[in-house]
Structure 1
């Protein structure tokens, strides 16, 4: 079967095509199915349904703070600080079974449980650390990785500077909500970067999935092409660059064509 025709890939393509209406849990689980061929995506998603069915989550007055406390302060899900680079932290099926994850995967859990119980949450793609915010409040943030702690903007800034350095410039735009497309792209980027460090095959399929996301920036296309070429998929790398060159101005296209020709030469 061609890679593009694999069931998990087709499921991913279907969800990504929905844009802002995509189901984040389905898209994330379709990613995981590439690490676990044959994974029953719908059965895994039912785990989220079961978590969300707990009566406490449907009590009158139950809110985002209560959800953060239920999921994270209680230890139901934990930020895997001891094994941060474990690839399983990025696969939603593993996060649900192990109850361990990194900031963005735990944020997806919180957002999807919230959606099921009527609490609308948005992802906050702050550089270096992913957070969650109530959709109706621009002041109330949550840190799933650190016990679901509630934060305000000053707390977020302090956390950012603790990661990036206290002289790193802070921009309020860092707390702008990101849509499901950006969340999925960031998840794939995490997988790709980790796999590249370990020289693992996840780098190949994560690069391929990135290239399937509509509207991918030219630099991101080049990065994924470089990953494919670096793992011996020279023709795939060349084709990705050729498709990019076809939509660029002539001067930029000429440079991309040189790169694509280089990958084709290595395939011979």
Structure 2
């Protein structure tokens, strides 16, 4: 596999290590100081690009790859209000595009368990639900894409919830924000965002009644699990056409 890495931060470097361990070729690395090299000439011959950058640059990066006929795997979060545009472009160009808010296998199993639990809670009743996500202080977006995916799974199954809001003290750019925890409308799922230390990622879904509490939690120990999942997704994408996500990859592995 001949790969390009777009975004050479901690995640990009971990992806590079795994690609080289596998014997894949890293033919192009794009970062902030050479972003002008993300063009048709430099992408020529690339099988797949792995894009992990920032909410401000992800859309243009992915669009460029698709317009140049290069398959692209992306895990950048905080910009996905425009995801549908790129999925449509991919189909129009007969390209290949894989997007996931989180490439950790355990997190994607949590997504499935989360929906199943919400469906059960919808039948039982008597519980309210909230989400907390904890990440390192360098994370640019809040709430995390993983937390949003969890919230969307709950909303799809729980009749009492029709949207989500974010409580993120000290994070000015948080979307759909409530002023403080406790102000959340009854028909919204509260997502509390915490930024501390070097935490790779902790996500907790909590159901609480007057009498008990149930928690579904996933903790990422290191970035390698995320990078490894992205590389597996890249290998999966090679030679394919269409729009894909982790559900497609999990179904393929059965």
What's the TM-score, normalizing by structure 1?
0.23
Relative contact order (alpha carbons < 8 A, sep ≥ 6): 1 or 2 greater? 2
Q: Which has the higher helix share?
A: 1
Larger radius of gyration: 1
